Structure 1
């Protein structure tokens, strides 16, 4: 599940956008990422997906969960309903070769690293979710919302720790 299934060409870019000379979707990489499971959501098409977690929560689909593969289920020990969790996931249908983008909501192009667009060299996304339930035996974590497509591959889970993750005002 890499971005290589994305069918895009030079005509598929907006005015002001610039393609990279390299397309990571077709290169052999040096990272060996192992997907630990998948995100389950009501979003079957990219056009249905909320643009961000705020919109996802506003749509309050409620049918969102993380399915963890059996080998990784022991790693769920210590998670509990009510906890917040950072999820990292691979936006497997995202394009990977646009380095200067012109999002629909902006009048001028911006660099990929100044945007939260799914179009990026390594389409890794991160979201902060609230756990609504945990079934470690089945490997199912219920979550409050997601802006990811159904079956999006999971890369990692990390607990949200307010004392560490919340920036101070100092």
Structure 2
């Protein structure tokens, strides 16, 4: 078995939301489309927003920076609404070996390097690693 060296990533921006702590935020963006947040893309990455438009859904791939370090080692958790522990990879729990999060949000507006969106499930200051467009037919399971 080969173990890989640590991977370095560079955030492209951070989110501004009303949630100071992740425990205050909803578990999924779809549960909170009434709430708006802002992605502030760092200037060196702002040109990458070209082609995105209001009304479009995007995935925010984030680094869940505010999770408890001790909990990151656990490979089991009780999923929301569940009764017993199950493997973390069968859940959407934010407490994972790697702190990668995904939020499906809807763009409200874009002004320079600021993307206002609906569907807040991230704490204020959460670093965003990437933006991926949601694409009908690709992001929907076949059948």
**TM-score tier after normalising by the smaller chain length:** 0.7 to 0.9
Structure with more helix by fraction: 1
Gaps of 5+ in 2: none
Paired position in structure 2 for 1:18:
none
The 5 A counterparts of 1:14-53 are 30-53=6-29
**2:104–2:119 Cα contact (<8 Å) kept:** no
1:111 aligns with 2:87: yes
Paired position in structure 1 for 2:53:
80
Q: What is the number of residues matched between the two proteins?
A: 136
Q: C-alpha root-mean-square deviation of aligned residues, in Å?
A: 1.5
- Rounded to whole Å, the distance in 1 between the matches of 2:67 and 2:50 is 32
Gaps of 5+ in 1: 1-28
Deviation at residue 103 of structure 1 after TM alignment: 4.2
The 5 A counterparts of 1:21-170 are 30-57=6-33, 60-62=34-36, 64-95=37-68, 96-103=72-79, 105-136=81-112, 139-169=113-143
- Rounded to whole Å, the distance in 2 between the matches of 1:132 and 1:47 is 25
Deviation at residue 125 of structure 1 after TM alignment: 0.8
| TM-score between the two structures when normalised by the length of structure 2 | 0.87
